[in-house]
Structure 1
Amino acid sequence: MAETSIRPEEAAHFGAMAADWWDPRGSSAMLHRLNPVRLGFIRAEIDRHFGSDARTLRPLEGRSALDVGCGAGLLAEPLARMGAFVTGVDAAPELIEAARTHAGQSGLAIRYVAGEVAALDGCFDLVTALEVVEHVADPATFVADLSARLAPGGLLVMSTPNRTPLARLLTITLAEGTGQIPRGTHDYEQFIPPEGLAGLLGAAGLEVRATRGIAFSATRGLHLSDDLRLNYLVAAARAA
């Protein structure tokens, strides 16, 4: 078992991207394109799980949320606007500093912590870890740490690339090869298929409640799909 989920080389890689994290044409451009798609899934699962009104702008009013691997806040800020008391944690101190600065400029009170999820106290109604599990030292330990931070009746949402030839082609060969994603961002051997992630969640006492793919087409761009080959999201909760 690894003592820490953090891989120092990964923290350094993403920390170097902090300066232009919020630039939709910068090194995190792909995350900016992914974010609306991921938010659509998250919002639907929030409404389904907590029974919130799909018409309200603040479905997380009075609830707590933890965004693990928060980067400079691309997801944490929308969660705060949904009414949540948000904590963001990331292994790269440079990203946490950028996140604090941007949240202050946006008038959002978000608690940001440099470190790892295992070091946090307390539990949260919503825990998110998007495009993170493929970068950690020990995925099983990491998923168990996420589960430990989930409050009774809480919801966990994760996303990650699938371990398929298509994901390798589009994510590494093309996206990294053409500079859409910084080179060295992904290691195909760390990609986890849906059944593998479901197994990790089950071992941590959680069960998958919903799975959707993120697909790409020339006409629709990135969009939610039943096609899981490229990238996928899962919503999970405590097993009954």
Structure 2
Amino acid sequence: MNVALFPDVVVNDETIPSAAIAAEAQNHTGPREKPGIAWRKAAQALAIRALLLQEARRRGLVPDPVELAPDRFETEEEALIRALLDEALSIAPVTEEAVRAEWEKDPERYRSAPLWDVSHILCACDPRDDEERASAERRATALLAKLDGEAKGFASAARESDCGSKNAGGHLGQLGPDDTVPEFEAALRQLDESSISPAPVLSRHGWHIIRLNAIAPGQVLPYDTVRPKIAQALEKTAWARASREFVETLAAGAAITGASLAPI
């Protein structure tokens, strides 16, 4: 990205150089053909950060970094922003009535995790190696063609798998969310019970032919079980709304050029 094409951002006479925005843009997403979107998101994020830090210093707040994880502490600027929001935001406690009303909108939303009974055939390769990946894909495609969507020959075909599960006909047992790599799970979620993936699925381990033998849908959870989760979500939503309104108030009294705080 040519930073010369994008302006510096100025917040109340404090300049945020385009080089800083370019560095921040790496943390934001946008269509490859529209790099300006990531830039605008980065400019907005840094403008908001500048507004908050200016207000924290105006109030005379002193940073007191806390430990976020073993041997990892907040920066002084992060601590200042946290202190400011703690002082400036007043969030009403979530009431029992609000939690129950949210639950009653659709209790079906709150379920235990599903379980999938899964078998697979693995044609292993390093996906980063173009030649190896293509060779393994051809092998997986040929195996899938032999199956022709039928499950009867799956256990026999699984003897050619590069996974230890080949000794059990490719059977992996019961899997739940996050029990396998994301790319495998994403494909698994698209399958109907007793079906085979229509095409080989690429993961970091190679190409998979996946069979979903059976699925046990998650059960609807009782209110008392999901109440803490709902309350936490409502508190988070209220905090986000209050934070957004606080920033809007600061922005209304500020002089900002080179960035827009409107939703992108």
Question: What TM-score comes out, normalization by structure 1 length?
Answer: 0.20
Where is the helix percentage greater, Structure 1 or Structure 2? 2
Higher fraction of strand: 1
Answer with 1 or 2: which has the greater Rg: 2
Give the alignment's TM-score, normalised by structure 2. 0.19
Which protein, 1 or 2, shows the higher relative CO under an 8 Å CA cutoff with sep ≥ 6? 2
